[in-house]
């Protein structure tokens, strides 16, 4: 499977020739928040998208289809997201992504109504993994429910196979994003007899001092931290001030090397839930550095390709590219949203050349399995603590199905 | 009741409040001289912090040199803003002047985003993050240092207002028409207050940057600082200090006890309730002049 994406590129390059010129371009519409809440990550996603498109297009495209990314800033405003979606729809875009929970929630009903493919990985509605309800939405990758469940399972393994009497502090930003994993955590706590306590901190997440005073008094065995970007930096400082060892910290996936650098040495031992391989030697990244940046066609600074979010972007779009490849194989005529949807639902054991866990998407499961792994920062690089895994799938799916049934109503 | 927790929340709230006060002092300075509630004050804090990083990271200056260099730059920026943006609006309705400061806020946030990107940057002052226990109470070293500097800034301003130039500023604050009539340069006085406010914003930006990193969210300090300035009295420097401590303690203690019960969100509620009650019950604030004249 690891060579599948590379073979995708190779097949695209070798097999097309003159046919490549005759196939229509597949357009992605990225209605991204490039200037507000998600701007810590979205520029890296866009850079990854454009680099991947350059790499694939230079090889003749995906089964002859060139790829084009259209990008617009929504400033995280739902109305601007809707405008972006509508304008790209008129331009013939077949696949949309918003990378913003509020924008995604505004656009999702339109994509569902119009029958357009919407990616929605990592953000937006977690219950969109329920493919038989959200048939046009493909949040391939772990939900926040899945990430929390996997982190709890990791804690369980580290605690000798039992969570009984293990104290877990869940420190989270006071925002729907922070509340999302809590039903899963409560269910797991009930099942495992664990002791979990919730500690919200206010937005924009830069003043966490009073929260950490209370966390210190609670004396947790583990800290699960649900914040983004710079909030991890503030948390690391507060943990140091409160004498809580960084080795107890497991962050949600939104921790990057930039955040670690901003911690100024405090990050050693920090753990995070990872959705993507951070190894800079990853063959897909290496190929982009060699062929795209080597030819002076990079979409940004080559240093940007070392960012975790860049790697996440590569993973997400190469999954979409795989869906297009399958769609092109399965379709005789022009590519349609319907064909790409079918392509997505035919992805089997695709691991993005080792970039992610092996992903299988079916008409019922649009999440692809929800696997993550735990990594720790050793002071210089990310070290794998576990292999790809998922846990408490029954709890995650029960909550997802319950939420999805309310959408149906 | 856990008194140690109470005292820890109160003490840390007080020092945080003094950091709010430093920004509030800048708001008060401008309001005293020109009756303009500067909605771009949070953005000036952010620009001040970015200026320090620009001198430090781009020009390679050590932090002890980058900070004064940024203060000089911000002094010029403050004068520039007053000279080219605000002075043109003399005689216009106050809502236009407010809109101008709001526009400046958006402009400054946009331009820093374009220049520095969206990722937070580190402001390393060399202050240790190791635990510091005062008795049984855990304190933050960077907050403590920032609070001490806030008090020093306040003291420096008190002394400044006793100098000849400071007395002129006080005269402008009391009655700018009368000041004009006796030959005091009102425009220069107002420009000086903007310049001083920008310099103090830089100092605030340095400490807030050390606390939370430097990014666009620094501009959000406006909300709490404005609340502090209104609570203390928009024309009262001592009021800003007292109100800063008061708001800091209130939000820390109340949220410390309420958040675990209500699941979060009470910190912002404290700030909002404080602002609303102040405006309803005591619009001139704790120490403000009841007869402040709006120009």
Looking at CATH, the fold of the domain delimited by B3-281 is given as ABC transporter involved in vitamin B12 uptake, BtuC (1.10.3470)
Q: What is the pLDDT confidence band of residue B291, given thresholds at 50, 70 and 90?
A: low
Cα angle at A349 between A308 and A11, to 5 degrees? 85
pLDDT at position B277 is 96
Domains of chain A: which residue ranges? 4-142+278-362, 144-274+374-393
With a cut of 50, say whether residue A3 has pLDDT above it.
Answer: no
A4-142+278-362 and A144-274+374-393 in the same fold: yes
Torsion angle of the four alpha carbons A34, A35, A40, A43, in this order, in degrees rounded to the nearest 10: 30
Task: Tell me if chain A has a CB within 8 Å of the CB of B122.
Answer: yes
Q: What is the mean pLDDT of residues A265-290?
A: 92
Neighbours of A398 (CB within 10 A): 15
Cα angle at B118 between B112 and B123, to 5 degrees? 75
Chosen for mutation from B56, B212, B266 (greatest number of chain A CBs closer than 10 Å) is B212
Looking at CATH, the fold of the domain delimited by A4-142+278-362 is given as Rossmann fold (3.40.50)
Task: Tell me if chain A has a CB within 8 Å of the CB of B119.
Answer: yes
pLDDT at position A229 is 84
Torsion angle of the four alpha carbons A336, A337, A339, A345, in this order, in degrees rounded to the nearest 10: 170
Whether B129 and A174 lie within 8 Å, measured CB to CB: no
Whole-prediction pTM: 0.82
Compute the nearest-CA separation of A341 from chain B (Å). Answer: 33
Q: What is the mean pLDDT of residues A226-242?
A: 92
Compute the nearest-CA separation of B130 from chain A (Å). Answer: 5
Which residues of chain A lie closer than 8 angstroms to B13, CB-CB?
Answer: 210
Is the CB of residue B52 less than 8 Å from the CB of residue B66?
yes
Question: Residue B67: which of B236, B229, B205 has the closest Cα?
Answer: B205
With a cut of 50, say whether residue B275 has pLDDT above it.
Answer: yes
Question: Residue B20: which of B279, B256, B169, B231 has the closest Cα?
Answer: B231
With a cut of 80, say whether residue A13 has pLDDT above it.
Answer: no
pLDDT at position A408 is 76
Q: What is the pLDDT confidence band of residue A10, given thresholds at 50, 70 and 90?
A: very low
Q: What is the mean pLDDT of residues A232-236?
A: 94
Is the CB of residue B52 less than 8 Å from the CB of residue B123?
yes
- Per mean pLDDT, which range of A91-100, A256-265, B22-31 is the poorest? A256-265
| Token code pair at residue B124 | 């390393």
Residue ranges with strand state E in chain B: 132-134, 137-139
Chosen for mutation from A40, A181, A206, A210 (greatest number of chain B CBs closer than 10 Å) is A210
Give residue-wise pLDDT tens across range B14-55: 999 999 999 999 999 999 888 889 999 999 999 999 999 999
Residue given tokens 């792994």 in the structure block: A373
Compute the nearest-CA separation of B2 from chain A (Å). Answer: 11
Give residue-wise pLDDT tens across range B58-97: 999 999 999 999 999 999 999 999 999 998 887 788 899 9
Across the interface, of B129, B213, B264, the residue whose CB is closest to A262 is: B213
Give residue-wise pLDDT tens across range B168-209: 888 887 777 888 888 888 888 999 999 999 999 999 999 999
The Cα A128–Cα A367 span in angstroms is 8
pLDDT at position A16 is 42
Q: Output the average pLDDT for chain B.
A: 91
Q: Determine the residue of chain A that is closest to B271 in CA distance.
A: A202
Share of chain A above pLDDT 90, in %: 73
Higher pLDDT, A22 or B174: B174
Higher pLDDT, A408 or A56: A56
Architecture label for domain A144-274+374-393? 3-Layer(aba) Sandwich (3.40)
Torsion angle of the four alpha carbons B170, B174, B178, B180, in this order, in degrees rounded to the nearest 10: 50
Domains of chain B: which residue ranges? 3-281
Cα angle at A33 between B115 and A61, to 5 degrees? 95
Give residue-wise pLDDT tens across range A118-153: 999 988 889 999 999 999 999 998 999 999 999 999
């Amino acid at each position: 499977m690891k060579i599948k994406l590379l073979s995708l590129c190779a097949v695209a390059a070798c097999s097309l020739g003159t046919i490549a010129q005759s196939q229509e371009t597949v357009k992605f519409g990225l209605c991204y928040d490039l200037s507000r809440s998600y701007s810590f990550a979205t520029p890296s996603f866009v850079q990854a998208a454009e680099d991947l498109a350059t790499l694939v297009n230079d090889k003749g495209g995906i089964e002859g289809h060139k790829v084009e990314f259209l990008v617009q800033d929504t400033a995280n405003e739902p109305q601007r997201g809707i405008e972006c979606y509508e304008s790209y729809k008129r331009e013939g875009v077949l696949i949309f992504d918003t990378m913003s929970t509020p924008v995604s929630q505004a656009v999702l009903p339109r994509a569902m109504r119009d029958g357009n493919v919407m990616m929605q990985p990592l953000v937006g509605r977690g219950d969109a993994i329920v493919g038989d309800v959200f048939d046009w939405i493909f949040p391939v990758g772990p939900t926040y429910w899945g990430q929390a469940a996997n982190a709890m399972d990791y804690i369980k393994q580290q605690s000798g196979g039992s969570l009984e009497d293990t104290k877990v502090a869940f420190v989270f930003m006071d925002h729907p994003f922070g509340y999302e994993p809590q039903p899963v955590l409560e269910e797991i706590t009930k099942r495992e007899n664990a002791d979990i306590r919730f500690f919200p901190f206010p937005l924009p997440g830069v003043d966490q001092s009073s929260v950490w005073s209370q966390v210190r008094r609670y004396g947790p065995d583990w800290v699960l931290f649900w914040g983004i970007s710079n909030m991890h930096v503030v948390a690391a400082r507060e943990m140091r001030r409160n004498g809580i060892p960084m080795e107890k910290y497991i962050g949600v996936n939104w921790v990057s090397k930039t955040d670690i650098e901003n911690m100024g040495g405090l990050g050693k031992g920090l753990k995070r839930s990872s959705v993507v391989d951070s190894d800079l030697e990853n063959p897909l990244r290496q190929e982009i550095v060699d062929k795209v940046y080597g030819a002076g066609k990079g979409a940004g600074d080559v240093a940007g390709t070392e960012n975790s979010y860049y790697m996440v972007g590569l993973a997400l779009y190469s999954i979409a590219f795989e869906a297009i490849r399958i769609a092109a194989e399965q379709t005789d005529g022009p590519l349609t949203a319907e064909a790409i949807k079918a392509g997505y639902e035919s992805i089997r054991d695709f691991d993005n050349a080792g970039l992610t866990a092996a992903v299988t998407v079916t008409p019922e499961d649009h999440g692809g399995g929800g696997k993550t792994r735990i990594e720790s920062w050793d002071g210089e690089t990310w070290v794998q603590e576990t292999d790809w895994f998922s846990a408490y799938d029954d709890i995650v799916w029960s909550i997802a199905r319950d939420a999805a049934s309310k959408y149906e109503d | 009741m856990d008194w140690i927790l109470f005292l820890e929340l109160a003490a840390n709230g007080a020092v945080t409040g003094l950091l709010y006060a430093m920004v509030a002092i800048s708001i008060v300075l401008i309001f005293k001289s020109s009756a303009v509630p500067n909605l771009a004050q949070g953005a000036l804090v952010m620009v001040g912090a970015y200026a320090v990083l620009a001198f430090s990271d781009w020009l390679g200056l050590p932090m002890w040199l980058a900070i004064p260099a940024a203060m000089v730059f911000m002094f010029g920026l403050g004068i520039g803003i007053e000279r080219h943006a605000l002075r043109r609006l003399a005689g216009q309705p106050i809502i236009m002047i407010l809109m101008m400061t709001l526009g400046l806020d958006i402009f400054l946030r946009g331009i820093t985003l374009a220049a520095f990107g969206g990722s937070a940057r580190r402001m390393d002052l060399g202050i240790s993050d190791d635990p510091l226990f005062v008795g049984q109470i855990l304190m933050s070293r960077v907050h403590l240092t920032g609070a001490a500097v806030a008090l020093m800034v306040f003291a420096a301003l008190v002394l400044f207002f006793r100098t000849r130039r400071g007395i002129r500023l006080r005269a402008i604050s009391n009655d700018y028409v009368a000041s004009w009539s006796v030959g005091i340069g009102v425009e220069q006085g107002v420009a000086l207050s903007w310049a001083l406010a920008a310099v103090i914003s830089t100092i605030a930006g340095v400490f807030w940057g050390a606390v939370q990193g430097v990014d666009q969210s620094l501009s959000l300090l406006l909300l709490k600082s404005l609340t502090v300035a209104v609570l203390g009295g928009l024309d009262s420097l001592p009021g800003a200090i007292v109100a800063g401590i008061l708001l800091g303690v209130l939000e820390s203690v109340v949220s410390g006890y309420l958040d675990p019960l209500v699941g979060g969100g009470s910190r912002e509620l404290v700030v909002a309730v404080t602002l609303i009650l102040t405006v309803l019950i005591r619009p001139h604030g704790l120490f403000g002049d009841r007869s402040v004249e709006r120009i």
